[in-house]
Amino acid sequence: MTEQIESVVANERVAEAGGERSASLWADAWRELRRRPVVITSATMILLVSSMAVVPRFWTRTDPQACDIRLSKAKPSALHVFGTNELGCDYYAMTVHGARASITVAVVATALVFVIGGLVGMTAGFWGGWVDSVLSRMADIFLALPFLLGALVFLSMLRSQSIWTVVLAFTTLGWPALARIVRASVLATKNLDYVQAARSIGANTRRLLLRHVLPNAAAPAIVVATIALGGYVSAEATLSYLGIGLQAPTISWGIMIAQGEAWVTSGYPHLLLFPAGFLSATVLSFILLGDALRDALDPRLR
């Protein structure tokens, strides 16, 4: 611990002189991650799906709304790789364009949850007292609501469902969990000897938060956010499947699964398997990447 305190004091002096602190935790984590095949596989899948969401024309130039009823429920072929749906729409194009809704909801909701939950958790943990009590009780109220049930009630009360209403529902119900995690990390960090040493040599609140408390709280928050990305992709598909989330003509994997389920027993399993397969692979990739990040950022788990 003495060496750690001396390192912090040295880092403070280097920072005052315009230098930068060592980022050994993140450097070690990066070295650990890039050696794991599961990380490479998961990251590759996430990049592929993200590219479908951002630049769908890179994968297909077929308009998913250009349908020909004469090709209704065509089986996979050279002309239509994934076949067609009951309206004769190209299913491969629909699957590619369906990634946009799921990824957009997941990324925007996770970003908002990360910012709001992180700020609330850091404020509650660092200042403590009545501030901690008020913010913690607010988080407890939201945590008492089951996530999917709360989202169902929230969206059913709105007159229209869109990507942004789903994002609003996920953000409203998702920030308390991350706030609790960040709060716990801040509470465990702010009274450590090396933080007190930095305070004793004149580090102000801003420096303590940004250079000592935040780096320790960021690691578990990033892990939770990565796993949450997969959870939000799954939650969006679930709500859309139930008819409460996104609505047609918006293309979503959840809507495709709901529409394709009715034709599985009629001999058209591809209408269910393709969107369900992409959904499952995407969610699994985020979960595996989050687990790998957790192991890499915690030296005790290496």
CATH number at residue 206: 1.10.3720.10
**Closest to 286 (Cα-Cα) out of 109, 139, 56:** 109
Q: Which residues contact 70 (CB under 8 A, 6 or more apart)?
A: 88
Q: Is residue 78 part of a domain?
A: no
How does pLDDT run across 166-183, given as a tens digit for each residue? 999 999 999 999 999 988
Q: Is residue 15 part of a domain?
A: no
Q: Is residue 19 part of a domain?
A: no
Q: Is residue 74 part of a domain?
A: no
Residue with tokens 């592929």: 48
Q: Which domain holds residue 140?
A: 2-9+25-66+86-301
CA 85/CA 90 separation, integer angstroms: 7
> Region 51-73: what's the mean pLDDT?
90
Q: Is the pLDDT of residue 201 over 60?
A: yes
**What does pLDDT average to over the chain?**
83
Q: What is the pLDDT of residue 126?
A: 80
CA 165/CA 173 separation, integer angstroms: 12
Q: Is residue 76 part of a domain?
A: no
The pTM (predicted TM-score) of the whole model is: 0.83
Q: Is residue 194 part of a domain?
A: yes
Q: Is residue 77 part of a domain?
A: no
Q: Is residue 75 part of a domain?
A: no
Number of domains in the chain: 1
Q: What is the pLDDT of residue 49?
A: 94
Q: Are 249 and 274 in contact (CB under 8 A)?
A: no
